Chains A and B, each alone.
Chain A
Amino acid sequence: MSKLMAFEEPVVKLREKIVELKTIATEAEVDMSGEIEKLESRLQELEKNVYANMEPWDRVQVARHAERPTTLEYIERIFDDFIELHGDRTFKDDASIVGGIASFNGQAITIIGHQRGKTTKENIRRNFGMPHPEGYRKALRLMKQAEKFNRPIICFIDTKGAYPGKAAEERGQSEAIARNLFEMAGLRVPIISVVIGEGGSGGALALGVANQILMLENATYSVISPEGAASILWKDASYAKQAAEAMKITALDLKQLEIIDGIIPEVAGGAHKDKEQQAIIMKEYITNTLNDLNKESAEQLVENRYTKFKNIGQYIEQ
Chain B
Amino acid sequence: MSIRDLFTISRKKNTDNITKREDEKAFPEGIVTKCPKCKMIHVTKEIEKNLKVCTKCQHHFSLTAEERIACFLDKGSFVSMDDHLQTTNPLNFPAYVEKIEIDKKKTGLNEAVLTGVGALKGMQVVVAVMDSHFRMGSMGSVVGEKITRAVEKATELRVPFIIFTASGGARMQEGVLSLMQMAKTSVALKRHSEEGLLYISIMTHPTTGGVSASFASIGDYNIAEPQSLIGFAGRRVIEQTVREKLPDDFQTAEFLLDHGQLDAIFNRLEMRDKIATIVKLHVQGGVSHV
Contact = CB atoms under 8 A, between A and B. Distances in A.
B107 interface: no
A249 B176 CA distance: 7
Residue picked from B144, B170, B218, most chain A C-beta under 10 Å:
B218
Contacts of A309: 180, 183-184, 187
Given A162-B233, A173-B233, A247-B176, 17 more contacts: A163-B241, A165-B238, A172-B261, A174-B216, A182-B189, A201-B210, A202-B210, A205-B182, A209-B183, A221-B176, A232-B172, A248-B175, A309-B183, A312-B177, A314-B177, A316-B1, A317-B85
Contact of A315 (B142, B187, B194): B142
A222 interface: yes
B259 interface: yes
A166 interface: yes
B33 interface: no
Contacts of A172: 217, 259-261
The contact size tier of chain A is: 35 or more
A53 interface: no
A166 B191 CA distance: 33
A208 interface: yes
A223 B145 contact: no
A170 B233 CA distance: 11
A165 B145 CA distance: 31
B190 A246 contact: no
Contact of A202 (B5, B179, B250): B179
Given A172-B259, A246-B91, A183 B190 contact: yes
A174 B212 contact: yes
A257 B218 contact: no
Interface in A149-203: 162-166, 168-175, 177-179, 181-183, 185-186, 201-202
A167 to B, nearest CB: 8
A178 B177 contact: no
A237 interface: no
A313 interface: yes
A306 B184 CA distance: 8
Interface in B53-102: 84-88, 90-91, 93
Contacts of A310: 148, 184, 187-188
A171 B259 contact: yes
A180 to B, nearest CB: 9
Interface residues of B, number: 62
A171 B180 CA distance: 24
Contact of B186 (A185, A222, A259, A316): A185
Contacts of B124: none
B85 A182 contact: no
Contacts of A201: 170, 179, 210
Interface string B178-210: 111111101111110110000000000000011
Given A166-B246, A174-B212, A178-B213, A223 B186 contact: no
A244 to B, nearest CB: 11
A116 interface: no
A199 to B, nearest CB: 8
B132 interface: no
Interface in A18-48: none
A236 to B, nearest CB: 15
Interface in B1-31: 1, 5-6
B141 interface: yes
Contacts of B244: 166
A254 interface: yes
B182 A315 contact: no
A315 B171 CA distance: 14
Contacts of A185: 183, 186-187, 189-191
B213 A202 contact: yes
B235 to A, nearest CB: 9
Nearest to B211: A174
Given A178-B218, A181-B183, A246-B93, A259 B177 contact: yes
B86 A315 contact: yes
A243 to B, nearest CB: 10
Nearest to A305: B187
B233 A259 contact: no
Contacts of A233: 172
Given A205-B182, A223-B210, A169 B88 contact: no
A224 interface: yes
A162 B169 CA distance: 15
A223 B232 contact: no
Contacts of B218: 175, 178-179, 181-182
A259 B172 CA distance: 16
A143 to B, nearest CB: 13
Given A249-B176, A315-B86, A173 B251 contact: no
Nearest to B178: A223
Given A259-B180, A313-B177, A315-B85, A223 B172 contact: yes
